[in-house]
């Protein structure tokens, strides 16, 4: 997973518009973000590049938008949500709106889920209004030492 973050981020879509002054671009119609093994598919993606190089924030919206990535152990993590925010510098994913995260044999769902992609660990989950349903089916087992490529 960590090599992914050295890769350039590619965004394909039918339509793109941008505002150079506040450095925000909007991609519409079958938007697909790829970065190494990471992929996010959505109907619309907003990219905020205000903080400059390498600190872009990708906000994907869809019904739902879908995120996938290959974990260190080779398994494929998958997440769905109406709103997926990928912070490039922090390497975190914030899922909100019917969020679901499926990792190995465990899956988590709720209104809001924050996931650290580099450590492959759940950072926070819960709901905005406090009484929303949060469900964890099975805790992911402790992270094995990532296997070294020969």
Note the residues at the interface with another protein (CB under 8 A): 7-21, 23, 25, 27, 35, 47, 49, 52-54, 56, 88
For the four alpha carbons of 125, 129, 131 and 135, in that order, the dihedral sign comes to: negative
In the complex with another protein, the residue whose CB is nearer, 28 or 102, is: 28
In the complex with another protein, the residue whose CB is nearer, 53 or 150, is: 53
Shortest distance, CB of residue 109 to another protein, whole angstroms? Answer: 30
Rounded distance, CA 37 to CA 112, Å? 24
In the complex with another protein, the residue whose CB is nearer, 24 or 72, is: 24
C-beta of residue 99 within 8 angstroms of C-beta of residue 79? yes
In the complex with another protein, the residue whose CB is nearer, 16 or 96, is: 16
Shortest distance, CB of residue 3 to another protein, whole angstroms? Answer: 13
Sequence-ordered list of residues with C-beta below 8 angstroms from that of 20, at least 6 positions apart, any chain: none
Shortest distance, CB of residue 23 to another protein, whole angstroms? Answer: 7
Rounded distance, CA 8 to CA 29, Å? 21
Shortest distance, CB of residue 8 to another protein, whole angstroms? Answer: 3
E strand spans, 20-150: 24-35, 38-48, 57-70, 76-87, 92-103, 106-116, 121-126, 135-136
């Amino acid at each position: 997973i960590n090599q992914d973050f050295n890769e350039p981020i590619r965004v394909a879509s039918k339509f793109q518009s941008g505002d150079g002054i506040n450095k925000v671009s909007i991609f519409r119609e079958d938007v697909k973000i790829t970065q190494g093994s990471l992929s996010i598919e959505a109907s619309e993606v907003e990219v905020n590049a205000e903080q400059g190089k390498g600190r872009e924030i990708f906000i994907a919206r869809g019904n739902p938008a879908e995120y996938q990535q290959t974990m260190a152990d080779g398994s494929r993590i998958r997440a769905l949500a109406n709103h997926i925010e990928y912070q490039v510098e922090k390497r975190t994913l914030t899922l909100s709106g019917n969020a679901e995260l499926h990792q190995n044999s465990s899956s988590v769902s709720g209104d809001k889920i924050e996931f650290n992609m580099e450590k492959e660990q759940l950072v926070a989950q819960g709901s905005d209004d406090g009484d929303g349903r949060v469900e964890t089916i099975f805790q992911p087992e402790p992270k094995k030492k990532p296997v070294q490529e020969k």
